[in-house]
A and B are shown apart, each in its own frame.
Chain A
Amino acid sequence: MGRCALLRPGRRQALSHAVASHDSGKLISRGLGRSYGDSAVNDGGTVVLHTRMDHLLDFDPQTGVLEAEAGVSIADLIAVFLPRGWFPAVVPGTRFVTLGGAVAANVHGKNHHRDGAFASCVESFDLITGAGASLTCSRTSHAPVFWATLGGMGLTGAITRVRLRLMPITSAHLRVAYTRARQLDDLVDRLEAAGDQTRYSVAWIDCLSRGSSMGRGVVMDGDFVEGAAASPLAVVRRAQRRVPFDLPSLALSRPTVRLFNARYFRNHPTAERLVDYERFFFPLDAVADWNRIYGKRGFVQFQAVFPAADGRDGVRALLSRIAQSGQASFLAVLKRMGPADAGPLSFPMPGLTLALDLPNRGQRLLNLTAELDRIVIEHGGRVYLAKDACLSRASFEAMYPQHEAFKALCRELDPAGRFSSSQSRRLGLTP
């Protein structure tokens, strides 16, 4: 990776100025940097940090609609609004993401099958385009730009403000039903049985199990309960543990992951438990710098979605290929997704999505992900751009058939080609 310039404007004028005066192309916005790949990285270009534009602007307690700058994090939002009985209607697996990032990746959470992706709670947002225009985009105004930006990975412009609907809650706790499944079909049956009455539903899956127990796992179905504790709306303040240094790569070898998985399975018998929102939604946030357990070489995430009809076969093909490769993944998640959004680059589609970590083993990893990508394409699926680091242009184009429409819109919004990222150039989305 080469170097890039960093800007951190604190005010909107400074941001517009940065966009307008940027003549060389290669400009991309960045929130809290939780995209796993190179979405907010700009080799030889400029990255604009939005983290100091983090003001809450307006909140209507009648409707639950909040207007805030794009640099506000989900964590900040929860800290301010949970005690008042409001929670973001869609949260991803970490609370350390900004609203702008959540829009740009159209993030989804454990309730996608029922409530949809982040788009579903976004009323509108403001965007500074490459042409220097400031657009307020919604379902009724600049609708094509609205949909292209949701999942557009920051390529349509810099998101400055977001208006989103929060969800009323009466407690910070969820009642979660854990159900063990002995193999994949069993697991998927249970995920599908959860249906629309269960708000949150997700499964942990053991990637190392093979043969008849391939795809064994634990299904977690949950929903917020009503006033469950003495102070039901208290923000959880748990001391964060840290990983102080990069662990040796041995730490995540096959035997240790096998041990972890066996323990996880054992520790989650079929039962119901009361769990706080942090433990349920953001388990990894409890360990700061958890990525360091993968050592200096790091890892990539691989997340793909398969259409409902081909879902089981696709997941089975991926799992057997990964199990065969012996590349241990200690966190794998399977989830059922609901309807897709209109955005040309939006990831979700009705079906099954599998997400897992793959430790970086250099060329061996690239060979593996290329094969996984091929399996995904064969089954009509696609890879999540917020997690992608390895996809080839050809594979990307096969997965996202609307990419030409997206490019055409970007050329219209940004005729000088100011916005691009390392990822967009790799995927041929921008020159």
Chain B
Amino acid sequence: MVGATSDITRCVARRIGALGYNLLLAARDAEQLEIEAADLRVRCGVAVYTMSFDAVVDEPSAWMAAMRQELPRDDTLVGMVVGLGLFARESMVKQQPELAQRMDRVNHRVPVALTEAALGVIPSTGFVCVIGSVAGDRVRANLASYGQSKRALDQALARMRSARPGGPQIITAKPGPTDTAMTWGLEASGPLAQPDEVAACIVRAIERRQSIVYCPGRWRWIMAVIRALPGPLFRWLLANR
């Protein structure tokens, strides 16, 4: 579980732990990581390992190699969930232009590199599930850099999926707006999904070996409509909300 302290990923971890799988958690905040690990040990009674991972500075393939060294011999890596995300509105990016690059790294390049590295390790019956966003389906001007990074992630995962038929299942999870620390305090244009609702949806997709999953499911239909809107109409709707 990479990015294991995020609101959605920790709910996914609780659900996967409840199925009896041992877990390896990775995140930047060491103290919170231990709290998360303790919770999963008590809650699920499984073995939980922790490892530091900072998406901004750590090199993904070197980290994956180090992680394999850490893993006890009796445990086989059967799947990986990547829940990394950095969010900034375009107005913020205008003030701090380096945010665009950092979002591209955290939301796109690092998850792709981790997936790439994991594909060589995980058996073909296993999976890699990367948490993207519905924002990548149709990029809006006020979230341009964020949307671009999620869109690039979506496309890269799609390419990897078609390049390796028969390999581990690559799942792109696309949560709609969710009630997490990331969206806390932002003005919401509609009801927010709860993180555990999204997690349930993700775990179901893993069990069913789906490729793309919208969480909650209604976003599949909403995004189908939004993707089909002609550009001028899309922009007019956004401007006149």
Q: Is the pairing of A and B real?
A: yes
Interface size on B, residues (CB 8 A): 13
Does chain B have a CB within 8 A of A309? no
Query: Which chain A residues numbered 184 to 230 have a C-beta less than 8 Å away from chain B?
Result: none
Does chain A have a CB within 8 A of B233? no
Query: Which chain A residues numbered 47 to 83 have a C-beta less than 8 Å away from chain B?
Result: 52, 55-59, 66, 69, 80
Does chain A have a CB within 8 A of B42? yes
B38 touches A55 (CB 8 A): yes
Of B7, B31, B39, B184, the contact of A57 (CB 8 Å cutoff):
B39
A56 touches B42 (CB 8 A): yes
Chain B residues near A59: list those with CB within 8 A.
Answer: 42
B43 touches A80 (CB 8 A): yes
Does chain A have a CB within 8 A of B239? no
Chain A residues near B29: list those with CB within 8 A.
Answer: 11
How far, in Å, is B191 (CB) from chain A's closest CB?
Answer: 15
Instruction: Find the A residue at minimum CB distance from B44.
Output: A80
B38 touches A56 (CB 8 A): yes
Q: A10-B7, A12-B31, A55-B35 are in contact. List 20 more A-B contacts (CB 8 A).
A: A10-B5, A10-B32, A11-B29, A11-B31, A11-B35, A13-B31, A52-B7, A52-B181, A55-B36, A55-B39, A56-B38, A56-B39, A56-B42, A57-B35, A57-B38, A57-B42, A58-B42, A59-B42, A66-B42, A80-B42
Q: Would you list 11 pairs from A and B whose C-beta atoms are within 8 A, ordered by A residue? A: A10-B5, A10-B7, A10-B32, A10-B181, A11-B31, A13-B31, A55-B35, A55-B39, A57-B38, A59-B42, A66-B42
How far, in Å, is B177 (CB) from chain A's closest CB?
Answer: 16
Residue with the greatest number of chain A CB neighbours at <10 A, chosen from B31, B36, B42, B181: B42
How far, in Å, is B6 (CB) from chain A's closest CB?
Answer: 9
Give CA–CA (A138, B12) in the complex, Å.
Answer: 35
Chain A residues near B35: list those with CB within 8 A.
Answer: 11, 55, 57, 69
- Give B27-48 as 1s and 0s: 1 = Cβ < 8 Å from A's Cβ atoms: 0010110011011001100000
Give CA–CA (A269, B24) in the complex, Å.
Answer: 56
Does chain B have a CB within 8 A of A8? yes
Chain A residues near B39: list those with CB within 8 A.
Answer: 55-57
Chain B residues near A13: list those with CB within 8 A.
Answer: 31
Give CA–CA (A11, B39) in the complex, Å.
Answer: 14
- Give A347-373 as 1s and 0s: 1 = Cβ < 8 Å from B's Cβ atoms: 000000000000000000000000000
Give CA–CA (A11, B36) in the complex, Å.
Answer: 11
Give CA–CA (A202, B184) in the complex, Å.
Answer: 42
Residue with the greatest number of chain A CB neighbours at <10 A, chosen from B7, B31, B32: B32
Residue with the greatest number of chain B CB neighbours at <10 A, chosen from A10, A11, A12, A80: A10
Chain B residues near A8: list those with CB within 8 A.
Answer: 181, 184
B32 touches A11 (CB 8 A): yes
How far, in Å, is B46 (CB) from chain A's closest CB?
Answer: 13
Chain B residues near A80: list those with CB within 8 A.
Answer: 42-43
Give CA–CA (A80, B5) in the complex, Å.
Answer: 20
How far, in Å, is B138 (CB) from chain A's closest CB?
Answer: 29
Chain A residues near B5: list those with CB within 8 A.
Answer: 10
How far, in Å, is A69 (CB) from chain B's closest CB?
Answer: 8
Residue with the greatest number of chain B CB neighbours at <10 A, chosen from A12, A57, A66: A57
Residue with the greatest number of chain B CB neighbours at <10 A, chosen from A12, A55, A80: A55
How far, in Å, is B232 (CB) from chain A's closest CB?
Answer: 38
Chain A residues near B7: list those with CB within 8 A.
Answer: 10, 52
Of A10, A56, A69, the contact of B43 (CB 8 Å cutoff):
A56
How far, in Å, is B93 (CB) from chain A's closest CB?
Answer: 24
Query: Which chain B residues numbered 146 to 166 have a C-beta less than 8 Å away from chain A?
Result: none
How far, in Å, is B21 (CB) from chain A's closest CB?
Answer: 17
How far, in Å, is A83 (CB) from chain B's closest CB?
Answer: 11
Give CA–CA (A262, B111) in the complex, Å.
Answer: 64
Give CA–CA (A12, B5) in the complex, Å.
Answer: 13
Give CA–CA (A55, B36) in the complex, Å.
Answer: 7
- Give A287-312 as 1s and 0s: 1 = Cβ < 8 Å from B's Cβ atoms: 00000000000000000000000000
Give CA–CA (A13, B39) in the complex, Å.
Answer: 18
Give CA–CA (A57, B35) in the complex, Å.
Answer: 7
Give CA–CA (A69, B38) in the complex, Å.
Answer: 11
Query: Which chain A residues numbered 7 to 22 have a C-beta less than 8 Å away from chain B?
Result: 8, 10-13
Give CA–CA (A11, B33) in the complex, Å.
Answer: 11
Lowest 3 CB-CB distances: which A-B pairs, in order?
A55-B39, A56-B42, A57-B38
Give CA–CA (A52, B181) in the complex, Å.
Answer: 9
Instruction: Find the A residue at minimum CB distance from B185.
Output: A6
How far, in Å, is A163 (CB) from chain B's closest CB?
Answer: 13
Chain B residues near A52: list those with CB within 8 A.
Answer: 7, 181
Instruction: Find the A residue at minimum CB distance from B35.
Output: A55
Chain B residues near A58: list those with CB within 8 A.
Answer: 38, 42
Query: Which chain B residues numbered 1 to 27 have a C-beta less than 8 Å away from chain A?
Result: 5, 7
